[in-house]
Amino acid sequence: MSVVSTIGDLGTRAAVPSIALRDRAERRALVARAWALELGFLVLVALGLALVWSASSPMALARHQSSTHFLGKQLAWAALAVAGFFAASRTPLRVIERLSVVALPMVVLALVYLLLPGSAGAHGGAVRWISLGPISVQPAEPAKVALVLALARWLSRLPVPDGRITLTVLGVAAIPALLVYLQPDLGTAVVLMSATFVLLYLAGAWLTHLIAIVVAILPALAWSVVHHEYRWRRLVAFWEPWENARTLGYQIVQSFVAFGSGGVFGRGLGGGTQKLFYLPESHTDFVFAVLGEEMGFVGVASVAALFFLLIVQGTRVALAARDRFGYLLAAGLTCLIGLQAAANMAVTLGLVPTKGLALPFLSYGGSALLSSSVALGFVLAVDRHSASLTPGREERS
């Protein structure tokens, strides 16, 4: 046996343990990410149930003669959301990819149906819900997830987006965004387009192209605000809340009061007073303010840390993905959850004008809870798919 062959044989034997060690390390990282995502999700859902009970009980008692009216509904949705999360997390990635083909057309049809006269339920001047027997469904919520699924599949099969591809993708995304805008729901429309821009950037689109498109859109966005009185009123309330504390700025000022009265440790769960018909939408869009009053700065910081944990772990899942579709899907869905959480928190803290966006996993509302839960489950499914591929067999489709 030659010296060269002996050295080669020794090198081959040495490579086997190193590959095994790397495989074990990757699987330990997967287990850590899975635990972080699952635990963070379950804690947020449980905390959301507690906050919905606390924030909604006065209204539920006054309107429905039962302090647990809204809690009962949210409990049913939470059970469905937890089941949806774990089912989604165990769905094969190729099944998810096939699902993306039909998901977006289905939600677009539902959004079109909403605009038909007499077809849906209205609330606060907006038509956003479809009644299905005893429950109401808000199609704009699954539309966010469906759009990310469809764009992730599409962009994974396209070359690096040039100007033409970028405009085509934006044009497709504008269809559900426009339908949502006509409800009217500008906040969700902005979220849909923001997620699209992020996915385009991650897919390799030129940043200069994206910035130029955003600059071109801004005048239309400004026109939409100026020529709709209720949006203009929200902007005035944002700029001068205290000068309009009893009128336009009432809601945000009451949110400030909730945060301020909570102090460091809060008044205790159920001990807040702003939910006693002072703070409008206390169990939906402004549940974060109830958290600030009842659990204080510690509670606010803890929830922010949990969302940060989900975003970090979701980003790690995307970076560890073995194929382009998984990478774009995990990154897009993580961005979607992060965008909504950041927007809701910013609204309640008076950092941006009121948007009407739910806080994922915490706000009252079954459609939002179920959609966010399935989205996070799909992120975990990407990680499980990556772990199922042995080193050297990465997919690049």
- 285-316 per-position pLDDT tens digit: 999 999 999 999 999 999 999 999 999 999 99
- 97-126 per-position pLDDT tens digit: 999 999 999 999 999 999 888 765 555 556
* Residue 353 backbone phi and psi in degrees, to 5: -60, 160
- 257-267 per-position pLDDT tens digit: 999 999 999 99
pLDDT, residue 188, reads: 94
Q: How far apart are the C-alpha atoms of 244 and 253, rounded to whole Å?
A: 9
- 149-187 per-position pLDDT tens digit: 999 999 999 988 888 999 999 999 999 999 999 988 999
Rg (CA), the chain: 23
pLDDT, residue 394, reads: 47
Residue 85's H or E segment, with its range, is: helix 69-89
pLDDT, residue 227, reads: 81
pLDDT, residue 16, reads: 46
- CB of 367 within 8 A of CB of 138? yes
In angstroms, the Cα distances linking 107 to 140, 175, 252, 314 are 8, 11, 32, 25
**Structure-token pair, residue 321:** 């993905």
Residue 224 pLDDT level (bands cut at 50, 70, 90): confident
Confidence (pTM): 0.90
- 330-387 per-position pLDDT tens digit: 999 999 999 999 999 999 999 999 888 899 999 999 999 999 999 999 999 999 998 8
pLDDT, residue 24, reads: 75
End-to-end CA distance of the chain: 43
Residue 226 pLDDT level (bands cut at 50, 70, 90): confident
Q: Indicate whether 393 pLDDT > 60.
A: no
* Residue 135 backbone phi and psi in degrees, to 5: -120, 160
pLDDT, residue 355, reads: 81
- What angle is formed at CA 186 by the lines to CA 145 and CA 174, rounded to 5 degrees? 55
- CB of 364 within 8 A of CB of 283? yes
* Mean predicted confidence (pLDDT) in 76-96: 97
More confident residue, 10 or 217: 217
Residues 6+ apart with CB under 8 A from 332: 148, 151, 152, 195, 198, 199, 202
pLDDT, residue 5, reads: 52
pLDDT, residue 233, reads: 85
Q: Indicate whether 130 pLDDT > 70.
A: yes
Q: In 3D, which of 28, 175, 47 has the Cα closest to residue 110? A: 175
